[in-house]
Each structure stands twice: as structure tokens, then as C-alpha cells.
């Protein structure tokens, strides 16, 4: 029989750990529902809840906050120079829109810039061709940051292009997320490093980042060449984004190519992440870029759990609350919290055309089930939920009235709003807005609008499962 004194010590330590977790929750919680759920679990089932809390429980990325503060002087100096050499958005004929943009600038700690040119890339083939062309034309350096990198055909094409540039003396900095790129071979990374690339991950190899956490992922997908051409959107480096992976079928996604001063914003976001991951502060080109004929106004908005506010949540709320005629959101994952749901309902009730586009078949069974649970609330308020039919839709796009559109990495779910590092590019150009309008209008033509019958007509077991899965929304 086990020594009863040892059992008593183990139980005491377990409840002491539970008390420490509750202490941390009370000091840092962001939502009362999540805090209460954790506390009940920690008190009732501490042997399960304590280990889970170390994996899922933290709501702030404290280490990144400290790293940001340590490097804040250098980053602040760069931000100041950026603001001094760019023209902030000024649209006196649309004062309300201008106020919205001022709020978003404060959230992202970056200015709106004029003189940009943005090109929509509507699938993997167009995106990868554009990425590789930009890499091939780079003369000084290439910065990469992707959530998922695979050593498949696409991954090898990118690596080959990078190795060629390295042989020509072009510098390469390669940042990937260690959870998203879990299957990436060590050989792939070693070969890049051997060719001369600087390689770092957003998770291991640094003492200040050692943690039992799968949250706080770097979900950003961006590439910058020479500080002059940048890319942002939903496409990672993998064959599935070409729709060529067996069993996955057609993949619908959107990326964006940016030229002009806004690329500096992408570069600043990358630099902060690289500084956190490697303790290095590379010397890059910060020379102000000439305005381009397109003269599009663009704001780069990085968001993440190290921000003072819930920046991504506030971005979506700002878009929804300020919409006057329509707000269309395309997101593969629709698991919003109550404040976003309420904002969408209010927008629909005041006559705004609210449309949420999600895939018919999700790559996450739980997320797909949770989406059904919002259908009654949505339908009763007049919110349209549209399911994309031809294949898996992975794009992250927001269209507000005819005023501005955003393309990037943020989903309409708790992970993007509170746990992941995301990035969006917001564009007020009528040309770009028209392009996004045409793109989403075509996508919607391939969608099926859901009705209450899609939920109410299913079995009670299905409806109970959907409601139960929705309880897991903070983890999905």
C-alpha cells in the first residue's frame, strides 16, 4: 500500500498548485465566463485542470511583453521615423471614416500611409508565383514569417529560390511557428541554415520562451523583399494551398501583394517577432519609399496577446459597429464570443447587410459543429451565414460598406481575437474595395445560405452536440 503521508503530500501539492492557478486567473482574467469555468475545474478536478491550465490557461503572453519593453526604444524610434516620413490618412469629406481609421492606427501603433499599390491574389497558384518572383528579384534581403511551412513541393520550391538568392549574397531571415510547422523536417531547416539563412522558430531554443503552452501561436503569414515589396494573407507554405493534396480538394484563399510605404509596417511587425524569437535586431532598409501611381491608403494592423488591449477583437468590433450599409466577413472559422455576436445582431437590426461566409466542410470538425449553434441567433436578427460549396474556403477578408476592406490572417474566432499573433492590411482605396467587392460577390455566388432549418431540422443529438461544443469556444 502507498504511504499515506506521501499521498497526503501529493494531494496537498496538487491543491497548492490549484490555488496558485486560481490566484493567477483572478489577477489576469479577461472574460468572467472563462475565469469561472477554470476555477470550478481547478477546485473540482484539480488533477485534470492543473495540467490543462499549464497548457491552455494563460491569457497573456508575458514573456513577449517583457521582450517588447526591452526592445521598445529601438522599435519606438523606428515607428517615430515611419510616422515622420509618411502621410497620415486625411479624408475631410468622410470625417466618420477618418475617426475609425484613427482608432485603428492607435490599436496597431502604426500610421495609415498613402502611395501604395495592392494586388489581390485569389489562389495558391497566383500567390506562390508572386512570392517566388519577388524572391528572385530581391537584391538585398528577404524576410519570411509563416505559421505553417512544409517540406513538400511548394516548400521545396521556396527553399530552392531562397538558396539561390543566398548564393548571390542576398540575406534571408526565416521565421516559422514551431507548432504550426510541427511536421517540418529538421533537414529542411538545416539546409537553409547551411546555405546562409538566419532561421528561428516562435517557440523553442530560447530560455525565456520555454513554456508548456500550445497557445500564443504566431499565425502571421508574410514576406518582405528589400523593404519594398510585401505579401500578407491566409496562405501558408504548403501543397494544400494549391488544392493538390489528396482528399482535400479545391482550396479557396486570398493573399495580397503590397508595394509602397505600407511595406514598412509589415517589416516592423516582422522585426518585433524576430527580435522576440532570436534576441537579434537585424539592420534593415527603413528609407521612405516613393509613392506609387496607385496611391492607395493602407494601414498594417498587427494584433496579438502581448497587446495592451484585445486588439483583434476591437478591430472586428470597430468594423461591425461602424458599418452603415454592409459588412461582409469571410472566415474559415466562425466561433465568436458574445460581444461580437451582439455587435453583429445590432448591425443587422439597424439595417446593415451582414454576411458571414464560412466553408461548407471545415478542416476542424469541432469548429464546424460550433458554427451551427449560432444559426438561430443569426437568422432571427437577419444575419446571413453562407457556406462556400466548391471546396475549403480559408480566406480572411473583411469588407465594410464601400469604404474599406481588410485582408490578412485573423479569423472570427477566440484564438485569433485573444491567443494568436495575427496581422491585417486595411485598404481604403475605392479601386481595391471594388476588387474585394467583386471577389466576394463571386464567392457568394458559390455559397448556400443557411436557414434555421439547417439547425432545427437536425436531430436533438446533433443540436445538443453543437451546443456542447460551443462551450469549448475559448479553446477552438
In this structure, are residues 248 and 240 in contact, taking their beta carbons and an 8 Å threshold? yes
Which of 426, 424, 427, 432 is closest to 408 using CA atoms?
424
Angle of helix 62-70 versus helix 72-84 axis, rounded to 10: 70
Q: Which residues lie closer than 8 Å to 348 by C-beta, 6 or more apart?
A: 354, 381, 382, 383
Grid coordinates representing 244? 493538390
Q: Rounded to whole angstroms, how far apart are CA atoms 368 and 466?
A: 9
In this structure, are residues 240 and 276 in contact, taking their beta carbons and an 8 Å threshold? no
Phi, then psi, of 276 in degrees rounded to 5:
-65, -45
Q: Rounded to whole angstroms, how far apart are CA atoms 115 and 380?
A: 43
Please list the pLDDT of the chain residue by residue as tens digits (476 residues): 556 677 677 777 777 877 887 777 777 666 666 677 677 777 777 767 777 776 665 655 555 555 454 445 666 676 666 666 555 544 444 455 577 888 888 888 888 888 899 999 999 999 999 999 999 999 999 999 999 999 999 999 999 999 999 999 999 999 999 888 888 999 999 999 999 999 999 864 444 444 445 567 899 999 999 999 999 999 999 999 998 765 667 899 999 999 998 999 999 999 988 988 887 888 888 776 666 666 889 999 999 888 888 899 999 999 999 999 999 999 999 988 889 999 999 999 999 999 999 998 877 777 777 777 788 888 889 999 999 999 899 999 999 999 999 999 999 988 898 888 999 999 999 999 999 999 999 999 999 998 888 777 788 887 887 777 777 666 55
User: What does the domain layout of the chain look like in residue ranges?
Assistant: 4-57, 63-91+115-296, 311-475
Total length of the chain = 476
Q: Rounded to whole angstroms, how far apart are CA atoms 347 and 352?
A: 5
How many degrees, rounded to 5, is the angle at CA 320 between CA 317 and CA 321?
80
Phi, then psi, of 209 in degrees rounded to 5:
-110, 0
Q: Is 141 helix (H, G, I), strand (E, B) or coil?
A: strand
Beta pairing, strands 171-176 & 141-146: parallel
pLDDT at 415: 86
Q: Rounded to whole angstroms, how far apart are CA atoms 446 and 329?
A: 15
Which of 82, 25, 90, 464 is closest to 265 using CA atoms?
82
Q: Tell me which H or E stretch contains 151.
A: none
pLDDT at 75: 64
Which of 14, 11, 46, 274 is closest to 141 using CA atoms?
274
Cell 491543491 identifies what position?
A: 15
Residue 357 Cα to chain centre, angstroms: 17
Q: Which residues lie closer than 8 Å to 414 by C-beta, 6 or more apart?
A: 335, 336, 337, 473, 474, 475, 476
Q: Rounded to whole angstroms, how far apart are CA atoms 88 and 113?
A: 6
Active-site amino acid positions: 219, 221, 226, 394, 396, 401
Which of 185, 187, 181, 183 is closest to 277 using CA atoms?
181
Q: Rounded to whole angstroms, how far apart are CA atoms 253 and 127?
A: 9
Cα→Cα distances 17→23, 43, 75, 209, 236, Å: 10, 11, 38, 21, 39
Buried b (16+ CB within 10 A) or exposed e, 181-190: beebeeebbe
Which of 267, 195, 185, 190 is closest to 226 using CA atoms?
267
Q: Rounded to whole angstroms, how far apart are CA atoms 307 and 188?
A: 33
Grid coordinates representing 80? 517615430
Q: Tell me which H or E stretch contains 392.
A: strand 392-393
Residue 98 Cα to chain centre, angstroms: 24
Q: Is 361 helix (H, G, I), strand (E, B) or coil?
A: coil
What CATH number labels 311-475?
3.30.870.10
Same topology between domain 63-91+115-296 and domain 311-475: yes
pLDDT at 90: 45
Q: Rounded to whole angstroms, how far apart are CA atoms 55 and 8?
A: 25
Q: Rounded to whole angstroms, how far apart are CA atoms 202 and 269?
A: 14
Residue 126 Cα to chain centre, angstroms: 21
The domain 63-91+115-296 is placed in CATH, from the list 3.30.870.10, 3.40.190.10, 3.40.30.120, 3.30.70.330, at 3.30.870.10
pLDDT at 7: 67
Grid coordinates representing 19? 490555488
**CB-count burial class (<10 Å; 0-12, 13-18, 19+) for 44:** exposed
Phi, then psi, of 296 in degrees rounded to 5:
-85, 145
Q: Which residues lie closer than 8 Å to 380 by C-beta, 6 or more apart?
A: 452
Backbone angle region of 281, left / alpha / beta, with phi > 0 → left and psi within -120 to 50 → alpha: beta
Amino acid at each position: 500500500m502507498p504511504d499515506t503521508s506521501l499521498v497526503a503530500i501529493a494531494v496537498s501539492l496538487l491543491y497548492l498548485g490549484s490555488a496558485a492557478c486560481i490566484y493567477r486567473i483572478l489577477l489576469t482574467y479577461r472574460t468572467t465566463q472563462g475565469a469561472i469555468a477554470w476555477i470550478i475545474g481547478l477546485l473540482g478536478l484539480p488533477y485534470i485542470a492543473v495540467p490543462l491550465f499549464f497548457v491552455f490557461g494563460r491569457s497573456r503572453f508575458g514573456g513577449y511583453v517583457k521582450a517588447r519593453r526591452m526592445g521598445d526604444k529601438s522599435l519606438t524610434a523606428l515607428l517615430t521615423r515611419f510616422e515622420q516620413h509618411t502621410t497620415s490618412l486625411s479624408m475631410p469629406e468622410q470625417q466618420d471614416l477618418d475617426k475609425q481609421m484613427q482608432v485603428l492606427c492607435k490599436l496597431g501603433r502604426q500610421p495609415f500611409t498613402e502611395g501604395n499599390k495592392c494586388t489581390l491574389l485569389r489562389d495558391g497558384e497566383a500567390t506562390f508565383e508572386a512570392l517566388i518572383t519577388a524572391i528572385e528579384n530581391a537584391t538585398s534581403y528577404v524576410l519570411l514569417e509563416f505559421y505553417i511551412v512544409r517540406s513538400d513541393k511548394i516548400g521545396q520550391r521556396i527553399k530552392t529560390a531562397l538558396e539561390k538568392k543566398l548564393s548571390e549574397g542576398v540575406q534571408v531571415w526565416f521565421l516559422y511557428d514551431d507548432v504550426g510547422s510541427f511536421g517540418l523536417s529538421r533537414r529542411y531547416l538545416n539546409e537553409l541554415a547551411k546555405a546562409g539563412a538566419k532561421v528561428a522558430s516562435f517557440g523553442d531554443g530560447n530560455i525565456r520562451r520555454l513554456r508548456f503552452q500550445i497557445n500564443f501561436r504566431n499565425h502571421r503569414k508574410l514576406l518582405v523583399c528589400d523593404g519594398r515589396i510585401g505579401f500578407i494573407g491566409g496562405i501558408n507554405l504548403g501543397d494544400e494551398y494549391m488544392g493538390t493534396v489528396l482528399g482535400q480538394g479545391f482550396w479557396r484563399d486570398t493573399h495580397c501583394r503590397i508595394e509602397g510605404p505600407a511595406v514598412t509596417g509589415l517589416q516592423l511587425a516582422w522585426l518585433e517577432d524576430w527580435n522576440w524569437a532570436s534576441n537579434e535586431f537585424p539592420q534593415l532598409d527603413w528609407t521612405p519609399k516613393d509613392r506609387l501611381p496607385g496611391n492607395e491608403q493602407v494601414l498594417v494592423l498587427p494584433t496579438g496577446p502581448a497587446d495592451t488591449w484585445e486588439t483583434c477583437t476591437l478591430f472586428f468590433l470597430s468594423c461591425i459597429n461602424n458599418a452603415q450599409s454592409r459588412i461582409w466577413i469571410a472566415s474559415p472559422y466562425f466561433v465568436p464570443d458574445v460581444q461580437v455576436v451582439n455587435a453583429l445582431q445590432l448591425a443587422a437590426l439597424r439595417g446593415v447587410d451582414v454576411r458571414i461566409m464560412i466553408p461548407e466542410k471545415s478542416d476542424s470538425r469541432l469548429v464546424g459543429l460550433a458554427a451551427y449553434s449560432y444559426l438561430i441567433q443569426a437568422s432571427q436578427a437577419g444575419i446571413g451565414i453562407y457556406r462556400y460549396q466548391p471546396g475549403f474556403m480559408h480566406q480572411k477578408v473583411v469588407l465594410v460598406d464601400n469604404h474599406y476592406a481588410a485582408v490578412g490572417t485573423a479569423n472570427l474566432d477566440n484564438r485569433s481575437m485573444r491567443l494568436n499573433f495575427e496581422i491585417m492590411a486595411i485598404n481604403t482605396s475605392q479601386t481595391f474595395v471594388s476588387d474585394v467587392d467583386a471577389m466576394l460577390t463571386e464567392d457568394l455566388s458559390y455559397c448556400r445560405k443557411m436557414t434555421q432549418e439547417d439547425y432545427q431540422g437536425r436531430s436533438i443529438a446533433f443540436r445538443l452536440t453543437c451546443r456542447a461544443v460551443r462551450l469549448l469556444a475559448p479553446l477552438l
